[in-house]
């Protein structure tokens, strides 16, 4: 997700080190996952989901900053966020703790990385280029889903492939083959979810661009209060998301092939 609040404060500059509080949360989250694994309260599939989610959301966020930089905003670069080092991108709750708890509950896995700071006002053409900055995140997830989907189709032996899928599915094959499947799967979900046109999800940038300029001040006033709407939908109305995801997943399964 891109930053839904417009101009963002600068993050920590390079060389300041890791925030001790953030480090403590990360250590606690990793400890929770380790305990769940050692006590067999979390499945291999759930572990693979978490391991696929973290790099996927990080690449999603980095892409926002890279495209913003190309359009003239170096906020993310100055904040040290254009890096593959996962530490600056990890949101302790959204990247580790929540996905682990959801995996434990069997409710599926969802999570997010720390939003990359983008100052839309510094873009050369803020309204048009702001849409591109937002939509590049889902575009990266789509590209990853296709790449790993094709890898699964052509690199995995037929006997190791999964032909039906559900919340309790056991993916056949070696762990590396399962991981390729899960990487493609999680990126499909991330792309579709982030394209939902609700703030602060990336798809809301399209709605924002279609609004007349006179309506933008009111939109900006209410936008910070909408950040929990997507999470509430996930937790309270999971069936709604299934209606959104299922048509796309059906097409994705065709990509995986026999």
The span from the CA of 72 to the CA of 201, in Å, is 22
Check whether the bond before 120 is cis (ω within 30° of 0).
no
Q: Please tell me which residue in 3, 61, 152, 195 is annotated as part of the active site.
A: 61
Longest Cα–Cα distance in the chain: 59
Q: Where are the alpha helices (DSSP H) in the chain?
A: 20-38, 44-70, 75-78, 98-105, 126-155, 175-194, 204-210, 216-222, 229-236, 238-256
> What Rg value do the Cα atoms of the chain yield, rounded?
19
Residue 61 is among the residues annotated as catalytic for this protein: yes
The span from the CA of 249 to the CA of 165, in Å, is 10
Residue in this structure with the two tokens 């790099």, named with its chain if needed: 55
Residue 94 gets which letter from DSSP?
I
Catalytic residues, by residue number, are 61
């Amino acid at each position: 997700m891109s930053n839904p609040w417009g101009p963002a404060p600068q993050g920590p500059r390079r060389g300041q080190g890791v925030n001790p509080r953030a480090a403590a949360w990360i250590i606690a989250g990793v400890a929770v996952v380790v305990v769940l694994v050692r006590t067999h309260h979390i499945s291999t599939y759930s572990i693979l989901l978490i391991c696929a989610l973290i790099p996927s959301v990080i690449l999603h966020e980095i892409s926002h900053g890279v495209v913003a930089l190309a359009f003239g905003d170096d906020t993310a670069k100055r904040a040290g966020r254009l890096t593959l080092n996962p530490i600056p991108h990890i949101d302790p709750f959204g990247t580790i703790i929540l996905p682990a708890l959801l995996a434990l509950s069997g409710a599926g896995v969802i999570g997010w990385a720390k939003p990359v700071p983008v100052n839309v006002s510094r873009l050369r053409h803020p309204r048009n280029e702001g849409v591109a900055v937002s939509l590049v995140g889902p575009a990266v997830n789509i590209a990853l889903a296709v790449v790993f989907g094709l890898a699964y189709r052509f690199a995995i032996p037929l006997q190791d492939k999964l032909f039906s899928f559900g919340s309790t599915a056991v993916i056949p094959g070696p762990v590396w083959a399962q991981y390729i499947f899960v990487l493609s799967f999680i990126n499909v979900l991330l792309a579709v979810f982030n394209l939902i046109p609700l703030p602060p999800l990336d798809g809301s940038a399209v709605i924002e661009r279609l609004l007349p300029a006179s309506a933008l001040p009111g939109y900006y006033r209410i936008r910070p209060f909408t950040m929990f709407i997507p999470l509430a939908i996930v937790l309270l109305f999971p069936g709604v998301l299934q209606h959104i995801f299922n048509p796309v997943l059906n097409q994705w399964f065709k990509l995986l092939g026999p």
